Every structure is written in structure tokens, then in C-alpha cells.
Structure 1
Amino acid sequence: MKRLKLLVTLAKKGAIGEKVKITLRELADELGISPQSVLRLLDEMEKEGLVSKEVLGRKTYVEIDHEGLAFLESLCDAISEALYNGVIIGEVISGIGEGAYYVKQYAHLIREYLGFDPYLGTLNIRVLFPKTVFDALCGVRPVVLPGFTKDGRTFGDVKAYRIRINDIEGAIVVPSRTVHPPRIAEIIAPVYLREALNLKDGSRITLRVVKG
């Protein structure tokens, strides 16, 4: 665990791609161990190819080596796989009142590409986990509702990501020109979700992204 904390601390200090000056006392304070223990850890990690260090006079320079970077990357991948597994937790918020209009315009495409007749409105949630809605959707292939022109007005492509809320199917929709920040998810479904799930502003809700 201390090796991992030391690697992460060095990465935060910029010891990737170049050697950075460190002080044993500073690292010791951050890790909660003695400077002697920090030096011993650095020596052990250098022998294992995790870091390389150079001592010039009273100054010590350290860089994370290839093995150390590979270890951090594999750990990051494992954590991402465990955490970002298609689950989104959020709280219901009010939208800006334009959802019904746009769902009506795209209703024929939603029916054709997603297979359901949408309720004329959207449910907006503020994403609490993960950090943004895109973290949960990363690696998931969307269904693209193609743009079209109607009455002289152009409607752009919309990316739709299939989800389930309890036993209700639906989709997170991301317009090509979205006005929502990345922590807001806009959801369409074949039913009025607020009524079907007894939701109100502030209600917690869990979405599961349908993959494949």
C-alpha cells in the first residue's frame, strides 16, 4: 500500500517523463512514515524497475519508470472497470421545459431506432455517480438518431444510450448541440417516469446502461 501511495504521490508531483526533485522529509510527511522508510522504499522500487532516482549532492531526483507506469495504468483500468460498470446514480431535477417539444420532433425516429413510442417529455437527473454521465457511457456504442430538416428548421443528430430503470426501458439522449453540462442526463421513456416511479425533484434514482 505504501508503494502505491508513493507512486501516486510521485505522479502528482510530475515524475512522469522526467526526473523531479523531491525531499525525503516532504514525502515522509505525506505518507506518514519516516524519511528513512521513504529512502528504503525508493531503493526497493528502483531495484524492481518501478522508479529511477539520481542523487546529486544533497538533492534527490526521481522518475517513475516504465514498470511503474504500467502498474499505475493497470490499476487505473481495474478501478475503472469495477466502478464504471454502467450504473448511474442521480437525483431528479426540473428541466428547462423544452423536452416535450423536442421529443415530439424526434418521436418517429425514437420509434424506428429505439422501438418504443416516447412519452412527450424528458426526465432530467443530476448525476451523483460517476463524476459525469460520460464516464458511465464511455465504451458504450450509442444508437444515433439522424438529423433532419422540418419546416425549414434543422434538427441535428442525437445519440441515444439504452438504459433500464427498474423494469422500464428508456434512453439517455445527448443532442449534437447539447445545452446540458456533463453532470446532467436527459432521459426519454415510453411512460411518464415521474408518475410511474413516484419521483419528484430531489428523488434518488439508479439507471443501468444496457450494453451491446
Structure 2
Amino acid sequence: MKRIQMLILLARKGALGRKIKITLRELANELGISPQSVLRLFEEMEEEGLIEKDVLGRKTYVEISTEGLAFLESLCDAISEALYNGIIIGEVISGIGEGAYYVRQYSHLIREYLGFDPYPGTLNVRVLFPKTVFDAFCGVRPVILPGFSKEGRTFGDVKAYRVQIGDVEGAIVIPSRTVHPPKIAEIVAPVYLREKLGLKDGSRVTVKVVRG
């Protein structure tokens, strides 16, 4: 564990592709161990090929090695795979009242592409985990609801990701023109989700991405 903490600390300090000057006491204070323990840790990590170290007089210079970077990348991949596995945890919030209008406009496409008649409104969920809605959709292809024109107004493409909340299957819908990854998930479903699942503002919910 201390090796991982040390590698992350060195990476934050900029020991990537170059050697940086460090002091044992500074690292010891940040890791909550003694300077002697830092020295031993460095020796072990150098033997394992995780870091490269030079000592010039009283100055110590350290760089994360190629092997150390590969180790951090594999650790990052393992954490991402464990955490970002198609689960969204959030809390129910009230929308601004536009959901019902847009669901009515796209209802024929939802019926055609997603296979259900939507309740005229969306359930709005503030995402608490992961950071954004898109983080939960890694590797998942959306269903594209194509844009159209109606009564002189243009409605753009919408990305729809099939999800399950409770025992109800629906979809999170995101306008294709969205620039910033959204922190609010708008869910369409064939039923009134607040009533069906007994939800109110502040209710904690878990949303599962339906793959395939």
C-alpha cells in the first residue's frame, strides 16, 4: 500500500518523465511515516524497478520509471473496471418542467427505437457516483433517436441509454449536442417512476445500465 501511495505522491509532484528533487522529511510528513521508512521504501522500490533515484551530495532526485508508470496504469484500469461498471447512484430532484414537453415531441421515436410508450415526463436524478453520467456508459453504445422538424422547429438527435431503475426498464436521454458531460440524468420510462417506486425529492436511487 505504501508503494502505491508513494507512486501517486511522486506523480502528483511531477516525477513523470523527469527527476525531481525531494526531501525525505517532506515525503515522510505527507505519508505519515518516518524519514528512515521513506529511505527503506525507496530502496525497495528501486530494486523492484518502480523508480529511478540519484543522490548528489545531500540532494535526492527521483523519477517514476517506465515500469512504475505501467504499474500505475494497470492499477487505474483495475479501479475503473471495478467502479465504472454501469451503475449510477444518485438522488431524485425536481426538474424545470420541460421534460414533459420534450417527451411528448419524441414519444413516437421512443416508441419506435426503445419499444415503449413513455410517461409524459422525466425522472431527474442528480448523479453522486460516478463523476458524470457518461462515466457509467463506458463501452456502451447509445440508441440514437434521430432529429426531426415539426411546425417550423428543429429537434436534434438524442442519445438514449437503456437503464433499469427498480424493476422498471427505461432510458437515460441526452441531447447529442451536449458539450459538457451531464451531472443530471433524465430518465424516461413507460410509467410514472415517482409513483411506481415511491420516490420523492432527495430519495437515493441506483440506476443500472442495460448492456447489449
Q: Normalising TM by the smaller chain, what interval?
A: over 0.9
Q: What's 2:168 paired with?
A: 168
Cα offset for 1:181?
6.5
Give 1:18-33 correspondences, 5 Å limit.
18-33=18-33
Alpha-carbon distance, 1:185 to partner:
0.6
Matched with 1:133 is 133
Partner Cα distance (1:79, 1:145) in 2: 33
Residues 134 and 181 in structure 2, CA contact (< 8 A), matched pair in contact too: no
Label 1:168 to 1:205 Cα distance change in 2 as closer, same or farther (>3 A): same
Tell me: CA distance 1:71–1:194, structure 2 relative to 1, closer, same or farther (3 Å).
same
The whole-number CA distance in structure 2 between the counterparts of 1:179 and 1:123 is 21
Which residue does 2:201 correspond to in 1? 201
Q: Distance in 1 between matches of 2:179 and 2:43?
A: 52
Matched, 1:60 2:60: yes
Cα distance in 1 between the residues matched to 2:165 and 2:5: 38
What SS is found at the alignment partner of 1:18? coil
Change (3 A) 1:179 1:33: closer
Shift of 1:141: 1.1
2:22 is aligned with 1:43: no
Q: Is the 8 A contact 2:133 2:181 kept in 1?
A: no
Alpha-carbon offset, residue 179 of structure 1: 8.8
Give percent identity, aligned residues only. Answer: 81
Q: Distance in 2 between matches of 1:160 and 1:17?
A: 41
Give CA-to-partner distance per residue, 1:78-113, whole Å, 9 cap, x none: 111111111111111000100011111111111111
Letter of the 1:193 counterpart: L
Q: How much has 1:37 moved relative to structure 2?
A: 1.7
SS in structure 1 at match of 2:42: helix
Could you tell me which residue of structure 1 aligns to residue 184 of structure 2? 184
Shift of 1:30: 1.3
Once residues 115 and 180 of structure 2 are traced to their aligned partners in structure 1, the CA distance between those partners, rounded to angstroms, is 25
What's 1:102 paired with?
A: 102
Indicate yes or no: 2:148 matched with 1:155.
no
AA aligned to 2:194 is R
Partner of 2:112: 112
SS in 2 for 1:182: coil
How many residue pairs end up in the alignment?
A: 212
Q: TM-score normalised to the size of structure 2?
A: 0.95
Query: Which deviates more, 151-160 or 171-180?
Result: 171-180
Classify the secondary structure of the residue corresponding to 1:206: strand
Which deviations, in whole Å up to 9, do the C-alpha atoms of 1:43-62 show, x marking residues without a partner? Answer: 22112211111222222111
Two-structure CA RMSD over aligned residues (Å): 1.5
- Read off the aligned partner of 2:130 and give its amino acid letter: P
Distance change (3 Å), C-alpha of 1:67 and 1:179: closer
Amino acid of the structure 2 residue aligned with 1:15: A
